[in-house]
Amino acid sequence: MIGITPTSAALRAGCAAARRFMPTSAAAPARTRRLFAAAASSSSNFSTVSLAYDLHKPEQPVHDEKTSPIIVMHGLFGSKKNNRTISRVLARDLGRSVYAVDLRNHGESPHDHRHDYTAMAADVADFIRQHNLKEPTLIGHSMGAKAAMTLSLQEPDLVANIVSVDNAPVDARLESDFARYIQGMKKIDAADVSRQAEADKILEPYEKSLTIRQFLLGNLHRSPAGEQKFRVPLNIIGKALDNLGDFPFKNPGDVRFLKPALFVRGTKSKYVPDEVIPLIGQFFPKFELVDVEAGHWLISENPEAFRRAVVEFLTPKE
């Protein structure tokens, strides 16, 4: 949907792309453990929020809902309802409970002036502790993917493994689409429209794709006065846009996640170019890479290929 351009610093390591790249990992150095502790400590300098969630339980569970659950995180302007179908399917196929969460400033979760990956990761860490979850898998798309990566590097003992969907641990520049969407959405809020069709007409000059407009308008809810208003705090998100392309960890030589990680990328997407694959391997030495014939919205564009990749990754190997 919206491309990103990796910065030159993130691309300093280059090599040919490999479909699956799994170098042997080494024990985490003492310096890495200290960095984990420092990152965790810094996250306590701000308030976390209690995340809204939907729990999808399997009909034939292999564990109770607290053991080896899956936590699914959406992207920017998304919500837990976008992941309802895939959450139910994974619960069915893996026999594991799936918690689909609303990240801060999205869906039904509380709003907070701070919106960055360190804060989002801290929210999810609190969610894991509050619900007494053991050995969870994190699955995140786009913004949710960077939140998952951040948490896995920040508090690796809290996470069993991760699935990053069409994003990479790299600083990048967001294209102008998001800022344009914010402008159109603010215009809708100011218009006090009562019907979604009216909102769509206002948004159309800012985005020609009906599919994308419908996705954005999914954030509307009816106010007590009967007007259609956006649930997401547009001013907060707007101010955060410049930082949402960044990744909080800069040096893969200092911090690594030494557990399994799956990176799923869309073949028609620009979010995970071949040039960043070496960087992924430095942060996540035990990673696997799977290409899915799709664009950035690969979970909805090719759900069966995504399902197969995740089920294969999470099925215990003999």
According to DSSP, the residues that pair with 221 across neighbouring strands are 229
Question: Which residues 6+ apart lie within 8 Å of 136 measured at CB?
Answer: 68, 69, 70, 71, 128, 158, 159, 160
Spatial distance between the Cα atoms of 83 and 303, rounded to a whole number of angstroms: 11
Residue pair 192/28 in contact by the 8 Å Cβ criterion: no
CA distances to 49, 50, 122, 147, 150 from 111, in Å: 8, 10, 15, 17, 20
DSSP one-letter string for 163-230: EEES--SS-EEE-THHHHHHHHHHHHHHHT-SSHHHHHHHHGGG---HHHHHHHHTTEEE-TTS-EEE
Residues labelled catalytic: 142, 296
Spatial distance between the Cα atoms of 234 and 111, rounded to a whole number of angstroms: 11
Spatial distance between the Cα atoms of 179 and 305, rounded to a whole number of angstroms: 31
What b-and-e string marks burial along 20-33, b requiring 16 or more CB atoms within 10 Å of the CB?
ebeeeeeeeeeebe
Residue pair 133/104 in contact by the 8 Å Cβ criterion: no
